[in-house]
A and B are shown apart, each in its own frame.
Chain A
Amino acid sequence: MLSQEANDRITRVGPGTPMGELMRRYWHPIAASADLNEETPTKEVRLLGEDMVLYRDAKGHLGCIEPSCAHRKANLSYGIPEENGIRCAYHGWVFDETGQCVDQPSEPEGSRFKDKVKLKAYPVEELGGIIFMYMGPQPAPLLPRWDILLWDNVTRDMSSVVLPCNWLQCMDNSLDPVHFQWLHRYWGTWNVQRKKAPEDREDFDRGTMSRGREHVKVGFDRFEYGIVKRRLLKGESEEDQWWRIGHPILFPNILRVAQDEWHSFQYRVPIDDTHTWHLLYTVRLPAAGAEAPVQDVIPYQIRQLYDEHGRLNNTIIPSQDEAAWVMQGPICDRTTESLGVTDIGIIMYRKLIEEQLQIVADGGEPMNVHRDPEKNEGMLLATEHTYYPGYAEMGGPFRDRPLVPPQVEASMI
Chain B
Amino acid sequence: MLTKEQNERITQTGPDTPMGQLLRRYWHPIAPSAELNEENPTKEVRLLSEDLVLFRSARGEIGLIEPSCPHRKANLSYGVPEPEGIRCAYHGWLFDVNGNCVDQPSEPVGSRFKEKVHIKAYPVQELAGLIFAYLGPAPVPILPKWDALTWDEAWRDMYYCVLPCNWVQCQENSLDPVHFEWLHRYWGSWIMRRTVPAEQREVWNRQTFPRGRHQLKVGFEQFKYGIIKRRLMVGETEDDEWWRIGHPILFPNTLRVGEAHPTEVGHLHAFQFRVPIDDTHTLHIVHRNFLPRPGNTYPKQDMVPWEERPTFDDEGRPGSSWVVGQDQSAWITQGPISDRSTEALGVTDVGLIMFRRMIEEQIQVVEDGGDPINVHRVDAGPIPLPQEHSYWPGETVTGGPYKHHQVREPDVVAILSDEPNVTV
Interface band, chain B: 20 to 34
CA distance A332 to B78 in the complex (A): 16
Q: How large is the interface on A (under 10, 10 to 19, 20 to 34, 35 or more residues)?
A: 35 or more
Question: Does B71 make an interface contact (CB < 8 A)?
Answer: yes
B299 lies within 8 A of chain A by Cβ: no
| Distance (whole angstroms) from the CB of A408 to the closest CB of chain B | 15
The answer for the CA separation of A412 and B75 in the assembled complex, in Å, is: 24
In the complex, which of the residues A183, A190, A333, A339 contacts B90, with contact meaning CB atoms closer than 8 Å?
A183
Q: A343 at interface (Cβ–Cβ under 8 A)?
A: yes
Q: Does A324 contact B (CB under 8 A)?
A: yes
Cβ-defined contact, A340 with B107, below 8 A: yes
Q: Within residues 162 to 189 of chain A, which ones have a CB less than 8 A from any CB in chain B? A: 172, 176, 178-179, 181-183, 186-187
Q: Which residue of the partner chain, among A182, A183, A314, A333, contacts B68 with CB atoms under 8 Å? A: A333
Q: Which of B72, B88, B106, B109 contacts A215, CB < 8 Å?
A: B106
Q: Which residues of A contact B80 (CB under 8 A)?
A: 186-187, 190
By CB atoms of chain B within 10 A, which of A176, A314, A338, A412 has the most? A338
Give the CA-CA distance A33 to B91 in the complex, in Å: 37
Quick one: which of B71, B89, B106, B108 contacts A327, CB cutoff 8 A?
B89
B39 close to A (CB within 8 Å): yes
CB neighbours of A314 from chain B (8 A): 78
Q: Is residue A328 contacting chain B, with contact meaning CB distance below 8 A? A: yes
Q: Which residues of A contact B78 (CB under 8 A)?
A: 187, 311-312, 314, 323, 327
Say yes or no for B73: interface residue by CB 8 A criterion: yes
Chain B residues in 8 Å Cβ range of A333: 68, 73
Do B71 and A413 have beta carbons less than 8 Å apart?
no
> A323 contacts B89, CB within 8 Å?
yes
A274 CB → nearest B CB, Å: 15
B residues within 8 A CB of A332? 72-73
Against B, the Cβ 8 Å flags (1 = close, 0 = not) of A375-391 are 00000000000000000
Cβ contacts under 8 Å, B79 to chain A? 187
A5 within 8 A of B: no
Chain A contacts for B75, CB-based, 8 A: 327-329
Which of B39, B77, B91, B117 lies in contact with A183, CB distance below 8 A? B91
A178–B91 alpha-carbon span in the complex (Å): 7
Complex formed: what's the CA distance from A178 to B109 in Å?
A: 15
**A194 interface residue, CB < 8 Å from B?**
yes
| Alpha-carbon separation in the docked complex, A195 to B369 (Å) | 52
Q: Chain A contacts of B111 at CB under 8 A? A: 340-341
Which residues of chain A have C-beta atoms less than 8 A from B73's C-beta?
Answer: 328-329, 332-334, 336-337
The answer to whether A183 touches B89, judged by C-beta atoms less than 8 angstroms apart, is: yes
Residues of A within 8 A of B87 (CB): 186-187
Q: Taking chain B's interface residues, is the majority helix, strand, or loop, or is none over half, making it mixed? A: loop
Q: What's the nearest-Cβ distance from chain A to residue B36, in Å?
A: 15
- B393 is an interface residue with CB less than 8 A from chain A: no
Interface mask (B57-74 → A, CB under 8 Å = 1, otherwise 0): 000000000001011111
Which B residues are CB-close (under 8 A) to A84?
none
> Is there contact, CB below 8 Å, between A328 and B109?
no
**Residue A342 lies at the interface, judged by CB distance under 8 Å to chain B:** yes
**CB closest residue in chain A, given B78:** A327
Taking a contact as CB atoms under 8 Å apart, the answer to whether A342 and B89 are in contact is: no
Check A343–B72 contact: CB distance below 8 A.
yes
Contacts of B91 in A (CB 8 A): 176, 178-179, 182-183, 342
Shortest CB distance B418–A (Å): 56
CB-contacts of B71-113 with A (<8 A): 71-75, 77-80, 87-92, 104-109, 111, 113
Output the nearest chain A residue to B80 by Cβ-Cβ distance.
Answer: A190
Question: What 1/0 mask marks residues of chain A from 206 to 245 whose CB sits below 8 Å from any chain B CB?
Answer: 0000000001000000000000000000000000000000
Q: How far is the CB of B302 from chain A (nearest CB, A)?
A: 22
- A324-B89, A329-B73, A340-B107 are known contacts; what are 4 more A-B pairs with Cβ within 8 Å? A327-B74, A327-B90, A338-B70, A342-B91
Q: Please report B residues at the A interface, Cβ cutoff 8 Å.
A: 39, 68, 70-75, 77-80, 87-92, 104-109, 111, 113, 117
The residues of A with any CB-CB pair to B shorter than 8 Å are 172, 176, 178-179, 181-183, 186-187, 190, 194, 215, 311-312, 314, 320, 323-324, 327-329, 332-334, 336-343, 411-413
Q: Which 4 A-B pairs have the closest CB atoms?
A: A327-B75, A182-B92, A187-B89, A338-B70
